[in-house]
Structure formats: structure tokens, C-alpha cells
Structure 1
């Protein structure tokens, strides 16, 4: 039996109603992965002043991968980490006591881009698809996606490791592979270059614990008020992303975070806003079915 502990700590009441003196705010460090659309909502939430509104002095710490972030969490260097469900499960199997307190993304935020001649998922039979690395969420996503279309991974399709999404996209452009799994805004870039978005996994309806907020039990037990205030800010940040009235300020902050020119890269920013507006959880529960799927 997997000793995964999960806490559904979604807070329905967002108002805190108290002005906090900066010097009195507890500092909370959240570990996130390198800048990408999937992580942009943390930055937007910070820039909107929502952590401070709820009595938190936030520090966003960037790590090259979720596994490194979990190591920092277990070492006590950060209070929360943004982690893939697989990494959290593996850490608990090794003896960690990690709780999943929120699910920011509970599906696969990926698209599979293919060569122009591949027009439908069935056309992937016998073709090479590049992922980041074996055992990663991109690997799981590709395997689940092709199985949904009655294709057997490693038999009907060839799955290759290729590194980060820039490297994977480069391999597709060079013709070294037939398809690549990417996240926005590269799906838009690919379609402009004539590649097909043959599968959009965000619309697949498949549950997957892709981006969870995790913390160790000891910290949760000792700091319940700080935990709740942190979650209030995160939830309000997701609501701001989904509020049409806040679209311009959200996009402006995403541009800063991703270092994109608001004018030259307007279409990429619009696509990032649209895509993740549909992908970020409305109610960010740590989804039990997503965690169970990860454990399979």
C-alpha cells in the first residue's frame, strides 16, 4: 500500500480582511520549476500582491526540476514545492512524509506536435515520438495518449528521450523524429510552421497529478494558519487568471515572467493565457483519481 498522504485543503473563503505590516509577515518559500507557462501563475499571484494581501511574504525559488525542489523541501530550505505526482509518490515510498495540499494542474498540459503528413493519432503508428526523459510526466503523457487511440507504447510507437522542450522541438524541426510533446506557446509556434497538433492532452479529460502543492506534515501541523493563508493567495491568483477583467494585467505579468515582448510575442502570450486559463484548476483540490493514476 502506497503511503501517500493527501490533504484536500481547498479554502472556500478568500477574504482575509486585514492589512498586514510588512515586517510582521511570515516568509514562505515555494519551490517551482524553471520559467514556463505552467509556472507563470505563481509569479502573477505574487505581482498582483495577493500573497501580501493574505499576510504572506512570498519567495519563489526556481529549481531545474521538481525532484530538486523536493530535495530542498525535505531539507527544510523551502516550505512548499510544486511537484509532479510521480515525484511525490516516489519520495513517500522512500520514507518522506509529504502531503499533497492542492492540485494546481490536474491533467496533462501538453500537446503532441507531428509532421504535416501525420493528421490523426492513428497515423502515429510506427513513428518516433520524443519526450524529455523516461519516467517523466511527458513520458507518462505520451504513453497514456497513444493507448487512448489503441496504440501500444514501445511497440506501435517508438518513444525516444530528447531533453527539454526546446531540444524536442528542434529535433522535430530537423526531421529526427516524427512527433514531439510540448507545452504552450510552442504548440502555437509549431502550428505556424506547418506541424499538426495531433493530440491536445489538456482536452483529453484524463486525470493526472501534474502540478501539486506539497509540504511535509511537520510544517503543516506547526503552521496551519500560514498554510491556509498561502492557499488563499494561490486560489485567488488562479481566479484572477480566469477573470476576463484582469486579462491585460495577467498577460503583462506573464510577459515579464517568460521574458516575451508584449507586442512582438502577442500571439504567444494570448495562447499561453487561453491555454492555461482552461488548464488551471477552478477548484484546486489534490485529485485522488489523479494520484491513483500516477501510482499505476
Structure 2
């Protein structure tokens, strides 16, 4: 046998190995594609970079949606009114959104319905300079909110009533987002600001203090809900049910695994100080409802407020704006009880 022939033999032996590797790679690719094809694509959006989005982001990053057969990558949409319109129009299937914009649209007859809730509290604090200890010292001072009619504005009303002050007793300034409000407080432009954790924790580290914690005085006042439109719910009842299963699982795991949840949320919110996000985590795990049920009593309070401007709301009941059929089915199946075991 010639030396040239001997050199060609290894090449012939390599070909089956190359074919094997190619086959394995193709199998993996096809398997991944098949798995992706088995997932149901759901367009989900949220309207806030806040702690109420913690479980939603946790569900995404920890692969919980996929475990329930859903292909979901949550998308941020600025402003609750914009997100509400997207749900009504069908460009978003399910949204994490404020109760008030969704309910206002529902009162007006729009194709939208609340299917659950992640926050049935108004989780804001009136944070003031440490020199302001009571209502008398706050009188005549400036307080920052985001804008009139917002959650911060509603929270300011609760805080002032608790202090037995009228809105006219202070100067309420519309300063936009939390970064602007915190900066205004730090610079002395305002004496107080309506904030949520982790910004509340940051300010207290800087010498401010909580004058009123609205979370504890407003009762069941709905803040953040899950909404869809009635057409999507009718045609995709099982998908909505699986979404609620995924979110309930995320809430349970979020509470049970702080070592994972805290750094994940810190990265999402871009919080520099670990102590601030830890304080936020400890505050919010007490707020997230395990069964994701909206508070009907709280929704009635919102209807009462809407009714001051829209008379139709006065004759409506919360049940007309809610569909908890997915949650009812999970409750009947014992799903929430099993999560706790």
C-alpha cells in the first residue's frame, strides 16, 4: 500500500464523526425549535419600573412562564393610559397596569377587564425633612408628586387627611418621576415627597424620615392590576389561566427565595445600595397577595372617585369591571394551597 493511500484513511474515518456531530447539532436545533413551537406567544406589558413589577420580572428571568407553556417577554410601556389603550386595541394581550386607568376605561364602556391584582395597597410614604415632625411644621411647605390624578396624588390626599390638613394647607408640586422628586427633596426645593421603596429607603439614609406611611392607613386601596380585553379572555381562557398560574408561582417563589429575588430586582431597578433594595423587598412581600385577587372593596373606593367626574360610575359595581374566572378555577383546583406546601 502506498504512503499516499495510508494518509487518506484517517480522512475516511473522520467523515462518520463529522456526520454524527452534524446530526446531533441538527437534533438539538430541531428540539429547541419544537419546544419553542409548543409555547404560546403572549404579548405582555407593564407600565412601571417599580417593586410591583418584581414578580413579573422574576417569572421572566426564572423561566416560570415557559414552565406553563407560555412564551412571554414583558415589555415596558410608559404611562398607564397608553397601556390601557394598547390592551383595548389588542396590541397587548395582558398588561400589568394601574387599576384607575383600567377602571376609568371600563366605566366608559371600553373592551377591558381586570383579571387579577398584584398590589391592593397604596404603597407610598410621605417622606419629609427630619426637622418636620408633625402637621403644624408641614403646613405651608411644598410636597412633590408626579402629576395630578396620579397614584402619588391620591397617596398625598390620604397622607394629608391623616394629618388633618387640607390640600390648600401645603403646596403640591407636579415634578414628574421619582428621580426628579428625590432630587428636589435632596436640594431643598421641597420639604417632602410622595415616594415608594426603594426611594423611601434612600431618602431615610440621607437624613429624611417617613412622616406618614400611606400603606398602613389607606386600607385596601387597589394600586396595580392585571388586565386584558374581554375578547382575548373569551378566546384564550386557558392562556389567561396559565398566566395567572405562572404569576402566582412567581409570587410564591419571590417571597420564598430572597437570595434570588433581591439581586434580580436590584438589577432590574438599577438600585446601587443593597440596603435600599432589601428594605423594599421586605416591605413589598407583605403587599403581594398570594391568590392575586383584586380587592372589590378597594375598587369601590376607586369607583367613588371616578364618580366625582363621571356620574355613570356612581351606579356601577366593581363586579362589572372584573372577571376572576381564571382565579376561581385555580382556587377550586386547590392550586394556591398546593403552592404553599
Q: TM-score scaled by structure 2?
A: 0.75
Q: Among 281, 284, 291, which residue is 1:276 paired with?
A: 284
Pair 1:104 & 2:118 matched:
yes
Q: Which residue of 2 aligns with 1:71?
A: 85
Question: 1:159-213 CA distances to partner (integer Å, 9 max, x unpaired)?
Answer: 2211101111111112111110111111111111111111122222522221000
CA distance in 1, matches of 2:48, 2:77: 6
Maintained 8 Å contact 1:66/1:82: no
Maintained 8 Å contact 1:113/1:181: yes
Q: How many residues align?
A: 271
Q: Among 156, 173, 178, which residue is 1:165 paired with?
A: 178
Name the SS for the 1:278 alignment partner.
Answer: coil
Larger fraction in helix: 2
Maintained 8 Å contact 1:106/1:207: yes
CA distance in 2, matches of 1:163, 1:205: 23
Residue segments in structure 1 that go unaligned for 5+ positions in a row: 1-19
Larger fraction in strand: 1
Pair 1:195 & 2:208 matched:
yes
Pair 1:224 & 2:232 matched:
no
Q: Among 181, 202, 205, which residue is 2:194 paired with?
A: 181
Name the SS for the 1:59 alignment partner.
Answer: coil
Question: 1:142-165 CA distances to partner (integer Å, 9 max, x unpaired)?
Answer: 102211232222x22322211101
Question: 1:67-96 CA distances to partner (integer Å, 9 max, x unpaired)?
Answer: 111121122111111121210122123331
Sort the Cα spacing of 1:199 and 1:268 in 2 relative to 1 into closer, same or farther, 3 A: same
Q: Among 249, 252, 258, which residue is 1:247 paired with?
A: 258
Sort the Cα spacing of 1:204 and 1:122 in 2 relative to 1 into closer, same or farther, 3 A: farther
Q: Which structure 2 residues correspond to residues 117-136 of structure 1 after superposition, within 5 A?
A: 117-121=131-135, 123-136=137-150
Q: TM-score scaled by structure 1?
A: 0.86
CA distance in 2, matches of 1:229, 1:255: 27
Question: 1:81-123 CA distances to partner (integer Å, 9 max, x unpaired)?
Answer: 1121210122123331211111100111111110111123554
User: How far off its partner does 1:219 sit?
Assistant: 0.7
Q: Which residue of 1 aligns with 2:314?
A: none
Residue segments in structure 2 that go unaligned for 5+ positions in a row: 1-33, 306-341
Pair 1:30 & 2:44 matched:
yes
- Bigger Rg, structure 1 or 2: 2
Sort the Cα spacing of 1:175 and 1:259 in 2 relative to 1 into closer, same or farther, 3 A: closer
Name the SS for the 2:74 alignment partner.
Answer: strand
Of structures 1 and 2, the one scoring higher in RCO (CA 8 A, sep 6+) is 1
CA distance in 1, matches of 2:163, 2:48: 32
Name the SS for the 1:228 alignment partner.
Answer: helix
* Worse-matched range after superposition: 31-40 or 185-194: 31-40
Provide the alpha-carbon RMSD of the alignment: 1.7
